[in-house]
Every structure is written in C-alpha cells, then in structure tokens.
Copies of this chain bind each other. A is one copy, B any other.
Amino acid sequence: MPFLTSDPLDLEAMVASVADPARGALASFVGTVRDHHEGRVVTALSYSAYGPMAERVCHEILEEAEAQWPVRVALRHRLGDVAIGEAAVVVVAAGAHRDEAFAACRFVIEATKRRVPIWKRERYVDGTEAWVDPTAPGGLVPAKHPAASRARS
C-alpha cells in the first residue's frame, strides 16, 4: 500500500491496520487543511511530491520508528487537491505502552514534515496562489497563476 494517495485518508482503517490485542496503546496524529495561513484565507490546497523518493523516505521513517520503539506505525499522506478540513496526513503508532506510542507517533510526523519530498500549494480567497516554503520570509512564495503556468508548458 503506497504512503501517498489521492483518496481521502481513513483514520479508523489505519488504526485497524496496526492495532493488535498485544498493543493496547494507540497514539495518532491527523493533520487537516486549515482555512487560514499567515493571515490569508485559504480556499484550496494541493500537494505534489517526488513520488518514488517520497515512498522510499516514508518507508525509512517507519523502519526507524519501529527500530527505536516496540511499535507498529501506519503513515499516509494525501496528494493532489485536498479540501479545507480534510486530513492531509495521518500517523498511527500502536504499542504496548503509552510512552512508546506517543514518542513514535511524534517522531514520525516530525520526520515526515522534515524529510519527505512533498510540496504544498495554497489558493487564497482573492484567487492568488502560493507555494508554502518554511525557509521563505512569511513562509510563502507567490506562485504563478495556474492558467499562466499551463500556458507555458
């Protein structure tokens, strides 16, 4: 099952995929699409990725988590358009104890944000768009209008 998907994420199904009668502690993180960013009203959002590398890095992150703690972890991230309020990323870590479940869940979401080659493009209520870029002033770099971008390629 790929880590990146264009389909809505199913938290219950991910919980079921790692739950086990021996692992009674499940810590989850769901990141949903917010309607505001840097003071601007967001109306739509889309994710793109370097697919083969993203899949490999997600796999590595889960291997690292499962080597560091006695847990099983599920991770999925959306690609393409994601509506406001929908889940963009879900992590579920299942262990026998709370400490390890929380630690592994937190590790995986932080590593995913830091290491997986995925990019977020936001559209605002005024019709403009921007690339989210944590290294840029204000965290955003203006994008070309999608129509202009299509005309060039």
By a beta-carbon cutoff of 8 Å, the part of chain A in contact with chain B is 11-12, 15, 19, 21-36, 84-85, 96, 98, 101-102, 105-106, 109-110
Closest to A110 in B: B98
A30 touches B28 (CB 8 A): yes
For A85, the chain B residues whose CB sits under 8 A away are 19, 21
A sample of 20 cross-chain residue pairs with beta-carbon separation below 8 angstroms, ordered by A number, consists of A11-B11, A11-B15, A15-B30, A19-B32, A21-B33, A21-B35, A21-B36, A22-B36, A23-B32, A24-B31, A24-B34, A25-B29, A26-B31, A27-B27, A27-B28, A28-B28, A31-B98, A98-B106, A98-B110, A102-B106
Q: Are B34 and A26 in contact (CB under 8 A)?
A: no
Provide the residues of chain B in CB contact with A24, threshold 8 Å: 31-34
CB nearest to A33 among chain B residues: B24
Interface majority SS (helix, strand, loop, mixed), chain A: mixed
What is the CA–CA distance of A22 and B35 in the complex, to the nearest angstrom?
Answer: 6
The 5 closest A-B pairs by CB, nearest first: A21-B35, A24-B34, A28-B28, A26-B30, A24-B32
A21 and B19 CA atoms in complex are apart in Å by 29
Instruction: For A31, list chain B residues within 8 Å (CB).
Output: 24-26, 98
Min CB distance A28 to B, Å, is 4
Q: Please report the C-alpha to C-alpha distance between residue A21 and residue B87 in the assembled complex, in whole angstroms.
A: 11
Closest B residue to A88 using CB positions? B24
A26 shortest CB reach to chain B, Å = 4
